[in-house]
Amino acid sequence: MDIRMANRMRELKASEIREILKLTQRPGMISLAGGLPAAELFPVERVAEVTQTILEEEGHRVLQYSPTEGDPRLRTLIADRMRERWGIDAGPDDILITTGSQQGLDLSGKLFLDPGDAVLCESPTYLGAINAFKAYEPEFIEVDTDDEGMIIEDLERRIAEHPRIRLAYVIPDFQNPTGRTWSLKRRQAFLDVMARHAIPVVEDNPYGELRFEGEPLPPLKALDEHGLVIFLGTFSKVFCPGLRIAWLAAAPALREKYVMAKQGADLHSSSLGQRQIAVYLDRFDLDADIEILRETYRRRREVMLKTMAATFPPGIRYTRPQGGLFLWVELPEGTNAREVLAASLEQGVAFVPGEPFYPNGGHENTLRLNFSAMPEDRIEEGIRRLGHVLTGFLAERAAADHAPTVAASVNG
Amino acid sequence: MDIRMANRMRELKASEIREILKLTQRPGMISLAGGLPAAELFPVERVAEVTQTILEEEGHRVLQYSPTEGDPRLRTLIADRMRERWGIDAGPDDILITTGSQQGLDLSGKLFLDPGDAVLCESPTYLGAINAFKAYEPEFIEVDTDDEGMIIEDLERRIAEHPRIRLAYVIPDFQNPTGRTWSLKRRQAFLDVMARHAIPVVEDNPYGELRFEGEPLPPLKALDEHGLVIFLGTFSKVFCPGLRIAWLAAAPALREKYVMAKQGADLHSSSLGQRQIAVYLDRFDLDADIEILRETYRRRREVMLKTMAATFPPGIRYTRPQGGLFLWVELPEGTNAREVLAASLEQGVAFVPGEPFYPNGGHENTLRLNFSAMPEDRIEEGIRRLGHVLTGFLAERAAADHAPTVAASVNG
């Protein structure tokens, strides 16, 4: 029977990444595709210990319904961490626990976007944010970026062109997918522009604590003097994603709207999951865990960059991130990363083509590589094979580029 | 700074129930207000045992990201239960695990509703569904109900009046808030009407397994020959709500749309929570747990009804549910349940006024009582006090009704 769907469903597509990730389940596949943290580093035994205590001491409570806002102790611990780590002046009542940062994105679309409104974002930007916002039928205004973040002149120009910009979405630290980090100057200039136009800003910060080198920079939320920034934080990348516990921090009036929207979306996040993280933070040293993650990911990134330098053919540009999970590759114009992927999968190596990270499409010559999920030897082997595939592709292209010239001279 | 919100946010309000529930935290309060299952019956030790096994045997996997569709073993177990218990012909690939049934409601609004579309629902209906759908800015078309379910003549009339009905939302078993159950004849007649108009139906079934007396009736989903019914099931009322694990079952093409919408909403539900329930179902006898719940709630309902019969003043009508968590009270016309609540709270007894369950308002003389969350002696004491409050109210009203007549005769 033919059932009529809402207009927004025309825009929703299955995530290309998740389809590729299904291929990566094949035995022996080297996956540089997903954004998975290193599962072998999850503190499983300590989580088991904490869980045992919780179920013994407050089992009936953690299996029951709990407040939409989230566990009070967890919100206090998060507020403390935000203050100490990032200089963000937020208390427990500014925080809402969410079911993954993905929910923070969905709720942000719900709060701010009517059909035909516009979202400002980096070009490229996080695919999951594009998908979340698409359900609210906005236009996406991509702002050009360079190694320091959004280019302010382009930002100003685009705002001048579009009267209905209702939200900005940015990832200033170790961006997904590029791995780039915004300079302090750009952060300040960006916030000035946002304040002038009263545009709320969703600052997505899943990787901020995973810095391998260089000095930490203050998040936008710490620089925000107008209550415009909604900060999204998560335990998915510094602890584990399977519990689906993340948070957002926003000015009280905004946070209240988020609480209402979350009531309608899932009532509250897992009561047990919230307590597991709160008790873990009380009992163990998450910072020591993070230090291990940092060191591991730094080494994996090193191996990736070193092998890329040794095996990639000339004419390929890529970022050198100071933290996070990803780096970004630009192949020569005219090379199609999806075709490269098809050849690469045959060699047992998966990555994600870059085009889906551009909400308005294009940039078929880009791709994203993840360095958090595989051990060093697999990364080295995977990049070697990818380098081989790319060498073949570019050689073929060079031959094709010359062919017409040769043909012309023969014919002429 | 004044930030522009989306139009839908004008409609969203904090749930009145959640505000009342905050009052019920006061020590000594007898709460007949919420919809909480009896926490003292949660199988905490068995959950602890199961959790220990999972973290030992597959700890790294259950703390990692997992597929949007949900754990395959859990989906198989759910499909089996749906077949055995309810005669629903669904396989694991028809099922999507959701973060509570509340998420099933939110995603249903996302799939089917554009602003100005209409949702058909029972009058009254579940407050949380009203809140979830409101985010998609529909009109609510309330259909009159009696003790057998929606009145088909009223249903037909309302459909004839409204060209943009895109979704029907119903709770045929032990409805929230009334406790009523639809007859088989009404179920069939309702589905015929829905099929004639190609209206998809969300069948919310959180309480179906909590029948105390009478014969089980087939869910709409088991009677559906056109793939129109989306069945929402949950472990919140038969196991525990704190893990936030529920499911929906829908025809493959529809289920695929729900998967896409869930990707954008929270990627997936708690990996650990899903495994906890799957392993529990594999290892323990959930049906034996449910039998205890049934018997407990049956006794609590009995005490509530018996005390109501003994202490409520005449002129008050109420339902006598065959299962579930709630019963529904209609005070004499002109009595305001919110005023009764204010007096009742002073006596340490909380309940929920009925008006919020009517999406278009009115019916201030109704209220909902919950009998699952309090032990029998507290229910008896709470209803006694409420009976006293009601007796006072109705006596005052009677005096007020007579007063003008007396005054008139004195003056005349």
ipTM: 0.95
Are residues B339 and B314 part of one domain? yes
CB pairs under 8 A between A and B: 260
Which residue ranges in chain A fall short of pLDDT 50? 405-412
Count: domains in chain A? 2
Residue where a domain terminates, one of A264, A283, A302: A283
Are residues B278 and B316 part of one domain? no
For residue A186, being part of any structural domain is answered with: yes
Task: Give this prediction's pTM.
Answer: 0.95
Are residues B224 and B158 part of one domain? yes
Identify the closest residue of chain B to A52 by CA–CA distance.
Answer: B48
Are residues A67 and A32 part of one domain? no
Residues of B in contact with A13 (CB under 8 A): 260
Indicate the pairing of strand A352-353 with strand B30-31. unpaired
CA distance B53 to B71: 17
Residues of B in contact with A272 (CB under 8 A): 242-243, 272-273
Are residues A63 and A194 part of one domain? yes
Residues of B in contact with A1 (CB under 8 A): 195, 198, 226-228
For residue B6, being part of any structural domain is answered with: no
CA distance A37 to A209: 13
For B125, the domain range is 44-283
Q: DSSP letters along A65-76, please? A: ---TT--HHHHH
Residue where a domain terminates, one of A268, A283, A298: A283
Radius of gyration of chain A (CA): 22
Contact A63 B14 (CB under 8 A): no
Give the number of C-alpha atoms closer than 13 A to the C-alpha of residue A387, restricted to the C-beta side: 17
CA distance A103 to B266: 5
Residue to mutate among A22, A256, A270, A280, with most B CBs inside 10 A, is A270
For residue B4, being part of any structural domain is answered with: no
pLDDT value of residue A141: 98
Residues of A in contact with B226 (CB under 8 A): 1
Of A18, A113, A198, the CB nearest to B263: A18
Task: Give me A122's structure tokens.
Answer: 């980096």
pLDDT value of residue B403: 61
Task: Give me B54's structure tokens.
Answer: 């999972």
Identify the closest residue of chain A to B3 by CA–CA distance.
Answer: A198
Task: Give me B139's structure tokens.
Answer: 């009109």
Helices of type H across A120-183: 127-134, 152-161
Identify the closest residue of chain A to B117 by CA–CA distance.
Answer: A6
Handedness of CA B121, B122, B126, B127 (dihedral sign): positive
Helix (H) or strand (E) holding B248: strand B246-249
Span B61-89, pLDDT tens digits: 999 999 999 999 999 999 999 999 999 99
Laid out side by side, the sheet with B118-123 consists of: B95-98, B246-249, B229-234, B201-204, B165-170, B118-123, B139-146, B149-150
Q: What is the CATH number of the domain that holds B359?
A: 3.90.1150.10
pLDDT value of residue A406: 44
Are residues B68 and B21 part of one domain? no
Helix (H) or strand (E) holding B79: helix B72-86
For residue A1, being part of any structural domain is answered with: no
Are residues A239 and A172 part of one domain? yes
Identify the closest residue of chain A to B195 by CA–CA distance.
Answer: A1
Which residue ranges in chain B fall short of pLDDT 70? 403-412
Are residues A86 and A27 part of one domain? no
CA distance A41 to A292: 8
Residues of A in contact with B64 (CB under 8 A): 36-37, 39, 42, 240-242
Task: Give me B318's structure tokens.
Answer: 């109420």
Angle between helices B100-112 and A252-266 (to 10 degrees): 90
Of B12, B128, B243, the CB nearest to A270: B243
Are residues B166 and B86 part of one domain? yes
Are residues A195 and A90 part of one domain? yes
Residue where a domain terminates, one of A263, A283, A303: A283
Residues of A in contact with B135 (CB under 8 A): 110, 261, 264
Contact A270 B270 (CB under 8 A): yes
Q: What is the CATH number of the domain that holds B94?
A: 3.40.640.10
pLDDT value of residue B404: 53
For residue A319, being part of any structural domain is answered with: yes
Spatial neighbors of A362 by CB under 8 A, at least 6 apart, are A355
Contact A18 B270 (CB under 8 A): no
Peptide bond into B177 cis (omega under 30): yes
Are residues A330 and A263 part of one domain? no
Are residues A345 and A270 part of one domain? no
